Structure formats: structure tokens, C-alpha cells
Amino acid sequence: VPYDKSGTQRVRAMYAVVTRSKLANDIQRCFQDAKLTLKVIDIPEMAQRNVAGLLETEGNALALVSFDASGGLLTLTSGGELFLARRIPVTAQQLLDIDAELRERHQEAVALEIQRSLDHFGREFSWVGLNQLLVAPLGDDHAGLVDYLGANLDTPVAALNLESILDISRVPELKNLRAQQKYFMTLGLALRHEEKVL
């Protein structure tokens, strides 16, 4: 986890990823059975960090939130580093609910989780300014989520269209925001490029 190099306290922290060994072994076995070499098992937080890395402005943090069938993921990054990741217990389906009252209730829950996370980020990483919150593709109109968050958060909010950062000319299907939402994590994983050694 990045730290304030100009500060007096230089306590270092590191993120650790933990999973059941059976799950990791099952994944490895699938690759071995297919006679494929497995070099990395990546996680959604890092995939989203990879996308955010294409959008960051130097010296500022970027908040990026995405939603899928398992819920929401909020990441805060700066300089290509993951500062904070939070799961949000609201799914893409709930945010696209046709019942306006239910949809607004879910939007409110998302806004509350994001605001709590942004407040925490501001306290823990006060030396990094937050530039904006981007909402990853959710569907053709984001079901009003971008407008709702923009009206209820103190941070500028905008919708992300992957076409603005990736050359998708050879994959016209990705012009569709629903397709972008479907393949968001896969594209983020494909952007992995660092070879860091601890």
C-alpha cells in the first residue's frame, strides 16, 4: 500500500490475498489438465486497478466503481497503485431494476457505501487528492446511477465508456455499453503488465 514519503511515519502495509487452498488447487489442476502453464491467478481488484491506470491523472487519485452479478467493487488508485478496495453488496441487476422505488433504494445504498469509503480514504491518505469517481459501464443509460451519485456525493462523478481509453475498432460489439459491462473485468485482466517482485 503506498504511503506518504514526506510524512514522519513510514509504516509500510501490504495487501494480502487469501483463498481456500482447495480453490487454488482446483484452478491449477484445470490448467495442468489442459497442459497450459499458469503464471498468475489475478483478482478483480487488480483488474479494475489496471483499467483505472489508463484514466489516472498524475498526482491525483481516481475512484472507479463497477457492478456485476456478484455486486459492486470500488477501487481507489493513484500512480498505478491500489490504495483501497471495497465490495458493495448491490448487484448490477438491482441497479437496473424496473421498479423505480427499489432502484433508488439500491442507489442510495451504493452512495452511502461510496461516501463512507471516500471519507476513509481522505483520512488514511490525506496526502493524495481525489480527482473524480468514474462509474464503469452498467448498461445503456446507467439506470440513473451516475446522476444519482453526482447529486449525492461531494466528488465529481462521470460515466466511463471503455471506447474512450481502448481501441475497440476490431471488436465492434464493445461499442455497446452492456457488452462493456459484461467484459469489463476480462479486459482489465488483459491489461496486466507489471512484473513486480516483492
DSSP 38: -
Residue 34 included in any domain: no
Q: What range does the domain containing 96 cover?
A: 43-190
**pLDDT at position 39, please?**
75
Residue 122, phi then psi, degrees to nearest 5: -60, -35
User: Judging by DSSP bridges, how do beta strands 71-78 and 129-135 pair with one another?
Assistant: unpaired
**pLDDT at position 195, please?**
62
Give me the number of domains the chain comprises. 1
Residue 27 included in any domain: no
Strand partners of residue 134: 64, 158
Residue 13 included in any domain: no
**pLDDT at position 198, please?**
53
Q: What is the CATH number of the domain that holds 84?
A: 3.30.420.40
Q: What does the alpha-carbon distance between residue 141 and residue 47 come to, in Å, rounded to a whole number? A: 23
Dihedral of the alpha carbons of 10, 40, 160, 100, in degrees to the nearest 10: -100
Residue 94 included in any domain: yes
pLDDT in tens, the chain (198 residues): 565 566 555 556 666 667 788 988 888 899 899 998 877 777 889 999 999 999 999 989 999 999 999 999 999 999 989 999 999 999 999 999 999 999 999 999 999 999 999 999 999 998 899 999 999 999 877 779 999 999 999 999 999 999 999 999 999 999 999 999 999 999 998 888 766 655
Report the SS3 class of residue 123.
Answer: helix
